[in-house]
Structure 1
Amino acid sequence: MVWRFWLTLVGLALVFINLFLAAAVYVDAKRRGFGQLNLPPGLWALVTFFFPLWGFFIYWLMHHSTLVVRDRPPF
């Protein structure tokens, strides 16, 4: 009986973490507009919700890492 409580608690925590990551990605993607893959913010949020670690990592890699090619001013 006690294991059901802890399993439910862990399950709810995982759902809330997924929702938080998806909401954070959605807000950031909406602020930036369409990204490198021309995916809308809602699709980024869905990918992050259903694949939390991979979706968040790929979004971060494409938008916030040092691998992103940003427009640089000419010399």
Structure 2
Amino acid sequence: MLGGVVFGNAQTVPENLHLASGTLATQPDQVVPAAGEGLRPNPNKVPRTNLSIDYGLGADGACGVAFNLGNVF
């Protein structure tokens, strides 16, 4: 009736972007990590519909909450 998840990821993003003469120049990429956790309550077992409640933390104090009703996979 109740499940959980722990997740993590890393994404590369350009450190600086400069727009000059219509071209895009970038500095070397930096890796930005993030992680989070979530709950998966299953209110009704017959259709196997899950309610997802996730909380994630990112770089520079970024954070967020996400809600989803249904199956992701």
Normalised-by-shorter TM-score class:
under 0.3
Question: Which structure has the highest helix share of the two?
Answer: 1
Question: Which structure has the highest strand share of the two?
Answer: 2
User: Which structure has the greater CA radius of gyration?
Assistant: 2
Scaled by the length of structure 1, the TM-score of the pair is 0.22
Scaled by the length of structure 2, the TM-score of the pair is 0.22
